[in-house]
Amino acid sequence: MSRCGFPQSKKRSYSGKRIRRLHRETLLSIVLVTSFAVAQTNPAFKPINVQATAGLPSEATAADSPNSGAPLTLTLQDALKRAKSNSPQFQAGLTELGLAKEDHVQARAALLPNVNYNNQFIYTEGGNPSFPGRFIANNGVHEYISQANVHQALSLTGFADYRRTRAMEAAARARLEIAARGLVVTVVKAYYGLVIAQRKYATAQNAASEAERFLGISQKLEQGGEVAHADVIKAQIQFQQAQRDLQEARLDMDRTRLELAILLFPNFNENFTVIDDLQTLQPLPSFPEVQAAAARKNPELRAAVAALQAANHEVTAAWGGLLPSLTLDYFYGIDASHFAVHQTVLHDPATREFATIRNLGYSATATLLVPVWGWGANRSKVRQANLRQHQASVELSFAQRQLLGNVQSFYNEAQAARAELESLTQAAQLSAESLRLTTLRYQAGEATVLEVVDAQTTLRQARNAYDDGQARFRLALATLQTLTGNF
């Protein structure tokens, strides 16, 4: 039996071998031309250009898109801008910052004099002149009060609250930056996840086309008596597996498109394309530069520092509840029995002489409030503030340690991802060359079908690994920049 499983004579002349090899080469040439023509005319397995069609929606999603016009082309910066407008986490950070600003405005207003205008009418029941003691709090049967009041309150608690709200505003601004940088990581992951899914779909298409072509070759060779039927069965299995891989790649591409659409569009639009710019590698700065940037521009550290400052001012405000506070009031206006600027009154009853007086006047009060006894409530507030201060101090210490560890860890991840890209590129190129040579050896009868199948699988895995490596480097950079900002 020969290697292909067909009976042969043990003794064969040299001329017979030469004729048989010539016959095989002629048959393989016909098979290659035929299979190439089939692959070109079969739209189900036509290879796609990843760079030209990156981001194109699938047929199903394009038909269901709310926008039936030309697809919207998005860069990464466009995606980040849209995500900020639609992200509930980022909008929550904006809301928190807005509330903190208004708290600061209110605390500042509490330290400044405020002006109110009071209008009041007091009516008292008239009584017997022999008993004038009723309703002595009032100044007459009719009393009109129309006064402007300038009020000023001074206390240690007010000044401490003002400084506390300023620190809380700084903490809210730092947390907003944390949310913005975290959103960048989310968008980068989803954006390049779609790019990689499209690349893998193209790789699966090429693999399916190659498996179909190889199945045709093995069938032709079997008909010519060159290979066993087992080779055809193995080629059929590989072809069916390639079809399943293509379906899974299509499903993954549609899934990543939906995930990105959720982040970017309020109307859930899927009719968009993304730019495949993974070939452009961003430089990675040195580790000392990354450390310096993290120390200067890390929002988590700033938020922890601002939280500790706010806790310190809260302790001061709590102690202010145990100290005296001063309130000043200045009144100007009318407080008379007639609602008028001028009033005519009986000046001399004997002569029935009348006089005109001016009702407008002013008064001022100063109140010093000294807390004496409050059943321990103020002391309790001080203890609460001290507990919050201790917690903020612990969180700041942890944030500092965590920053040092994350800078080292994230930088190592980015450095490793960058270093592996060259190796992954070479692996993809070598795998393509290996498949080409193995196919030629199989056609010449020098390789088995298992070697061809293994080469096909290796090429698909190498291309997918290269794509994943590029996306991994971009994601590692985005994660590192959550600590350092853009560089």
The DSSP code for 148 is E
Per-residue model confidence as pLDDT tens digits over 307-350 = 999 999 999 999 999 999 999 999 999 988 888 888 887 777 77
**Torsion angle (degrees, nearest 10) of CA 387, 394, 172, 413:** -160
Q: Which of 17-21, 151-155, 157-161 has the lowest mean pLDDT?
A: 17-21
What pLDDT is recorded for position 129? 60
User: Once rounded to an integer, what is the mean pLDDT over residues 143-150?
Assistant: 91
Contacts of 33 by beta carbon, 8 Å cutoff, 6+ apart: none
**128 has pLDDT over 80:** no
DSSP string, 13-45: -HHHHHHHHHHHHHHHHHHHHHHHHHHHH-GGG
Amino acid at 72: L
Q: Which amino acid is at 173?
A: R
Note the pLDDT of residue 29. 43
Give the pLDDT of residue 101.
96
16-126+137-484 placed in CATH 3.20.20.70: no
| Mean of pLDDT values over 244-273 | 93
pLDDT (0 to 100) of residue 445? 84
pLDDT band at 143 (very low <50, low <70, confident <90, very high): confident
Residue 283 and residue 371 in contact, taking contact as beta carbons nearer than 8 Å: no
What is the average pLDDT across 458-477? 94
pLDDT: which is higher, 19 or 381:
381
Rounded-to-integer distance, Cα 85 and Cα 72, Å: 17
Round to whole Å and give the CA distance between 45 and 246.
9
292 has a pLDDT exceeding 70: yes
Task: Grade residue 354 by pLDDT with cuts at 50, 70 and 90.
Answer: confident
In the structure, what pLDDT confidence band is assigned to residue 158 with cuts at 50, 70 and 90? very high
- Over residues 178-198, the mean pLDDT reads 95
54-68, 255-269, 279-293: segment of lowest average pLDDT = 54-68
Enumerate residues 6+ apart whose C-beta is below 8 A from 471: 192, 193, 195, 196, 278
Beta strand segments in 81-163, E: 114-123, 142-154
- Indicate if the alpha-carbon torsion angle 409, 415, 417, 420 is positive or negative: negative
* Section 172-193 average pLDDT: 95
- Contact partners, residue 190, CB within 8 Å, separation at least 6: 256, 259, 260, 263
Angstrom distances, CA of residue 40 to CA of 59, 213, 217, 219, 241: 20, 11, 15, 19, 21
Average pLDDT taken over every residue of the chain:
84
Which tokens belong to 367?
A: 């109140």
Position 235 pLDDT exceeds 50: yes
Of 38-42, 142-146, 251-255, 436-440, the poorest mean pLDDT is in 38-42
pLDDT in the model for residue 342: 86
Cα dist. 217→42, 206, 212, 268 in Å? 16, 16, 9, 46
pLDDT in tens, 380-410: 999 999 999 999 999 999 999 999 999 999 9
Q: Does the pLDDT at position 446 exceed 80?
A: yes
Q: What is the mean pLDDT of residues 275-288?
A: 90
Residue 197: pLDDT over 60 = yes
pLDDT(48) > 60: no
User: 59 falls in which pLDDT band (50, 70, 90)?
Assistant: very low
What's the whole-number mean pLDDT along residues 124-138? 63
User: Which residues on adjacent β-strands are paired with residue 343?
Assistant: 357
Yes or no: say if 36 and 213 are a contact pair by the CB < 8 Å rule: yes
Percent of the chain with pLDDT over 90: 64
Residue-wise pLDDT for 64-122, tens only, equals 344 457 889 999 999 999 999 999 999 999 999 999 999 999 999 999 999 999 998 88
User: What is the reported pLDDT for 262?
Assistant: 93
Q: Per-residue pLDDT averaged across 194-209, rounded?
A: 94
Residue 485 has φ and ψ, to the nearest 5°, of 80, 180
Answer whether 235's CB lies under 8 Å from 218's CB: yes
3-state secondary structure of 274: strand
pLDDT score at 137: 65
> Which pLDDT does position 60 carry in this prediction?
37
**Is the distance from CB of 56 to CB of 71 less than 8 angstroms?**
yes
Closest to 158 in 3D by CA, of 110, 196, 104, 227? 110
pLDDT tops 70 at residue 58:
no
